Amino acid sequence: MDLDFRKEWDQYVKELYEETYDGEKVIYWEVKYPFPLSNRDYVYTRECREMDVHGRKIWVVLAKSVAVPQCPEKPGIIRVKSYKQSLVIESDGKAGCKVYMYYFDNPGGMIPSWLVNWAAKTGVPAFLKDIEKACLIYSKNT
């Protein structure tokens, strides 16, 4: 949820900020893609709810793409128009948590099979390790 901190640890963030348009908080996120592919960007809303279920802390984060005229597409960047994420984080009551995530986006354009294979075999596991490291650093700084 902390966009400024995300910019510190996520090497794929090119641009990331939140603006309010017509009373609604909207996030703009540009993701670096490897050469020779074009970067992708997202415009989306999200909400977070913290719950206490029988003494267990649970956080639910929902995000989905939106179209806002104040955030037009940029030349040379492919807009991801179909994005949805549902994330649930549950405390294990100790020093850890369980994470459940549904994630979908259509990155558009032609994504070569080598990149799809890299993402599945290397990129996603490495990203999860980066998130884990970031969480450990974040908890020490808060």
Q: What range defines the domain where residue 33 resides?
A: 3-107
Angle at 61 between CA 138 and CA 71, to 5 degrees: 95
Residue 75's φ and ψ, nearest 5 degrees, are: -60, 140
Residue 19 carries which DSSP code?
Answer: E
- What residues does 47 pair with on adjacent strands? 62
Of residues 25 and 141, more confidence is placed in 25
pLDDT per residue as tens digits for the range 8-35: 999 999 999 999 998 999 999 999 988 8
Does residue 133 sit within a domain?
no
Task: Report the domain count for the chain.
Answer: 1
Find the CATH number of the domain harbouring 82: 3.30.530.20
Does residue 125 sit within a domain?
no
pLDDT per residue as tens digits for the range 92-128: 877 788 889 999 999 888 888 888 888 889 888 888 8
**pTM: predicted TM-score of the whole model, two decimal places:** 0.88
Average pLDDT on 26-53 reads 93
